[in-house]
Structure 1
Amino acid sequence: GIGFSPAGDLSAAWYDKILEERKVKKAWMREIHKAGGWELGMLLTRIEMRYRRGILNELEVAYGTEKGARWFDDPYVAIRHLGEMWGFGVGYPPEYDALPDATYRGWMRLALPDGDSNRTRWATDPLWEVVQRVPFAQGLPKPLKRAKEAKPDLDQIDAEIRGMLVTRAMLRGSYLTAPSSIPQEMQACQERIAEWDAAKGRNFAEDVRERARMAGKKLPYKAPLEFRQRGRPRKQRLDESAS
């Protein structure tokens, strides 16, 4: 198996469930797996999220409870939030993009490498969306978020962008031939970024969508992944074989 952050307050483990059951002699679990569609010989991987009290103390639920209510100490209340806790760990599939802004988008995910050095911009693997759709409850989950939340200031971002444009104009030396201006520098920057996107095969709109998804913002609906149904081979009848 594979462990992720084993010493942390929030950790995860991926492992071969059938092998684990053989080691601890839990063969009776196979009947439960069969009820879920598992068949003998199939690979069965368990993805397990593990929450310790440290991370639970930082979570608050938009459920009419106040911060510090310690809802997780009551098993009858905590069991109602299995879907939210699962979504906090693995994220939510694309069809949940309309969830409130407070929704957290997942502590871990499986992504598709595309050569970008910033892995947060990698697209989510469609197989991971299947993991995200594990049904714990009906309807949309109620948002879970950590109490410590940073909210970027748009005014501060604009000030930083202006400072970067000033530095960019200085490095280009455009001020030597004519007085620099923000529209002039932004146009030059736009042309350079367009060339960079074309060379890297990037799409600005998709990058914005992914960044918004990671931040828990509302997004346009995206159709879920559909898997082709594979039928079992038809058994040959005796009369057909005789002919």
Structure 2
Amino acid sequence: MIKDKKGHKDTEQRKLMENQMAQADKLASIGQLSAGIAHEMNNPLGIILGYTQLLLRDESSETERYKDLKTIEKHVKSCKAIVEDLLSFARSSKPEREVINIQDTIDDVLSFVVQHSDLDKVEVIKDYDITIPPVLINERKLKQVFMNLIMNAIHAVGKTGTIKITSKFNRSKNRAYIRVIDTGYGIGKKNLSRIFDPFFTTKPTGEGTGLGLSVSYGIIKNYNGEILVESRRGKGSTFTVVLPVNALHKVTNR
């Protein structure tokens, strides 16, 4: 029996492209709806927050009323953060670009995470490919992507486990591959196909908006890249960010 490996590979690539196109269409449709909802919510939330902060100025910090107002302020700010995520998800403006070093960007995010997270029993391993050229992308947005992926990995491993961050340069494809690998609880097969859907989350209620991965997916797609995921329940997850680097060569070689 002869197996046609090329035919099998072509079928897999076609399925991957079909899935990516379906995901892009889904995100575009939901993005339009999200933008409308976000704009409608933003103004009243701003008014509530403004009046709450005015009342706080005249209230003693020792009173129950002050504590109640602080609770309102906290939750309104949380709602506004969700609205901002919605707007970020819905925006399709021309991407801003600057020359950045991927490894430096990851290290900046890790430095912040280490300072603000309990990682005493979590091992963080870095394995960088120093041959990766600088890339053209918005640094703030790339940090947002890595922050989402690393924080998700921390949540997945819990109090003990390993998070490994690797980078690799594929010269023939002019692509940089950055992987965030964790030894956490993994993602079930039925959830894997929905992982980049807006508002989908496996976290307990109140611990996630379900927009982090959707926004990250949109950011990377906007720069002609990809985010891929591999996971098995109980075996951990690997998120791979694929970024083109050939655009920079075209600019610098003029």
Which interval holds the TM-score relative to the shorter structure?
under 0.3
* TM-score of the aligned structures, taking structure 2 as reference length: 0.21
Larger helix share, 1 or 2: 2
Q: Which has the higher contact order (CA 8 A, sep 6+)?
A: 1
Q: In terms of Rg, which structure is larger? A: 1
Larger strand share, 1 or 2: 2
* TM-score of the aligned structures, taking structure 1 as reference length: 0.21
